[in-house]
Amino acid sequence: MSRALVLIWVLAMWLCGCAGPPASPGKAPTVVEVERLEERSSATGGERYSASVEPSTRVVVNFNSGGYVESVGRVSDRDGKLRLIQPGDPVKKGQVLCSLRSIDFSSRLEQAGAQVGRAEAQEQDARSQVEEARGGSRLARGQLLEARAAQSQARAALGELEATVAQARQAVREARAADQLARTNLARSQSLFDSDALIKPELDQALFNHQQASVRLAQAEEQLKGAQSRLEQGRTQVEQARGRVEQAAGQVEVGLAREQRSAAGVQAASSDLDSARAQWEQTRLAQMDASLKAPMDGVLLSRSVEVGSLVAPGAPAFEVAEVSQVRVTFGVPDLEVAALKLGQGVTIGTQSLPGEKFEGRVSTIYPEADPQSRVFRVEVKVSNPAQKLKVGMIASLYLGGGGSSVLTIPISAIVRRPDAPDKFSVYVLERQGQRSIARLRPVELGDPTGDRMVVVSGLKSGDEVVASGSNMISDGEEVAVQP
């Protein structure tokens, strides 16, 4: 069964028993809704859709910082008096919409600046300590080099003293041997002299030789003693030099540790300075953001703040929309979405602006259907320089263009013909002065188009048909038209 036949069947079921009751004498006129018919262009059936007007761009302006609202932007009303801006007012890009209490931000900025000054002074002190520590480290390293040089010299002198002691010991050994030999020769010479085997001069010579050997032995022992004394002094000097080297090395380690601590202090001070500067920058930006400005030319959709109110960071304050161009959005079933093309021309009308038409082009066809309604969202861009189309208006449109012109009527306007139950009629309004009379007129219907039916014959453009309440009236009955 084709979709047209299905809709005709649904229409027939809806119309069962809806031929209309007979008029009662003295009855008050029935209130009905009336629609004036007009021809619309149609292509491939000319489907009619209801759409919603949305701004091309909308931006919610939020507070980046919290505080008390000090002022809200003002504009002149028709009488020239200043009033607070309100929804519907046009705004310009950069226009101040609202300002928070500035003294709060000035105070915080001064505190942040003072914190930056303290952090800079602390960093400078830390860098001075680093330089001082580095100077101490350089001095300690110089002292260490000097101590090591003195230690080397002391060790070299100790080596020479050890060689001198060794030589002195050898000289003592030689002198002792010579003294022992001289002592032996003297004893032998004395024995020979006592036995008259040696003359006196020879004995005296042996005695002289012994005395000379004793003197040389005493001298050698004295030199050995002096060399040993100097050797002990040399060893003491070496120990002292080693102590000075260890002390200088300790001072170098202390200097390096102090330098490292000072460097860590500089790093910490630099980190504190960066944090203080970041805090100051955040406070400065917060002060700049204390005045909310319009992000673009447009119209104010909403305002949620009042003078004196306390707002939190991130709280929305205004909503601004760009409406010189609007988006008209509607849903299309899958049977029709394939026929749509980007850039396709569309004519749009609204009940709020009867008789006015707006031309637009299909700008977006969403690739996925809504999971609940199973229709595809379509957007049409419409130029709106005079801002006649308002956000939230309900618009109607016929897809296509360039096809034949057709008349359509809402399904709710159709009733069964009393003389032919398989045929249909509508009530057409007949104006008689101040009275409005409903006249039943037979019509021939064509294909359905959305929630409407194409009229093949029986009606013409400009006819006023009863769109709602047709099942409550009868032919020739006076009705009251709902405004």
Confidence label for 480 from pLDDT (cuts 50, 70 and 90): very high
pTM reported for the whole predicted model: 0.46
Distance from C-alpha of 199 to C-alpha of 195, rounded to nearest angstrom: 10
Confidence label for 13 from pLDDT (cuts 50, 70 and 90): very low
Q: What is the pLDDT of residues 78-118, one digit of tens each?
A: 888 889 999 989 999 999 999 888 887 777 778 888 888 98
Q: What is the pLDDT of residues 322-380, one digit of tens each?
A: 999 999 999 888 777 888 889 988 889 888 888 789 999 999 999 998 888 788 999 99
The type of residue at 26 is G
pLDDT at residue 450, rounded to an integer: 57
Q: What is the pLDDT of residues 148-199, one digit of tens each?
A: 999 899 899 989 988 999 998 999 999 899 999 989 998 998 998 888 888 8
| Residue 470 near residue 412 (C-beta atoms within 8 A) | yes
Domains contained in the chain, CATH given: 3-57+322-481 (2.40.30.170), 107-284 (1.10.287)
Model confidence at 14: pLDDT above 60: no
User: Mean pLDDT score of the chain, rounded to an integer?
Assistant: 85
Q: Give the CA distances from residue 273 to residues 131, 265, 281, in Å, rounded to whole numbers and listed in that order.
A: 19, 12, 12
CA dihedral 37, 40, 44, 45 (to 10 degrees): -10
Confidence label for 41 from pLDDT (cuts 50, 70 and 90): low
Q: What is the pLDDT of residues 304-326, one digit of tens each?
A: 999 998 988 888 999 999 999 99
Q: For a pLDDT cut of 70, what percent of the chain falls above it?
A: 90
Q: What is the pLDDT of residues 412-461, one digit of tens each?
A: 899 988 788 788 999 999 999 889 999 999 999 887 665 678 888 999 99
Scanning 72-199, the segments in alpha helix (DSSP H) are 102-194
pLDDT at residue 251, rounded to an integer: 87
Residues 6+ apart with CB under 8 A from 106: 287
Model confidence at 22: pLDDT above 70: no
Confidence label for 40 from pLDDT (cuts 50, 70 and 90): low
Confidence label for 44 from pLDDT (cuts 50, 70 and 90): very low
Which of 79-111 are b and which e, b meaning 16 or more Cβ less than 10 Å from the residue's Cβ?
Answer: eeeeeebeeebebeeebebbbbeeebbeebbee
- What average pLDDT does this structure show over 199-223? 90
pLDDT at residue 180, rounded to an integer: 94
Show the tokens assigned to 329.
């959005």
Q: What is the pLDDT of residues 231-285, one digit of tens each?
A: 899 899 899 989 989 998 998 888 888 888 888 888 888 888 898 888 888 777 7
Model confidence at 3: pLDDT above 50: no
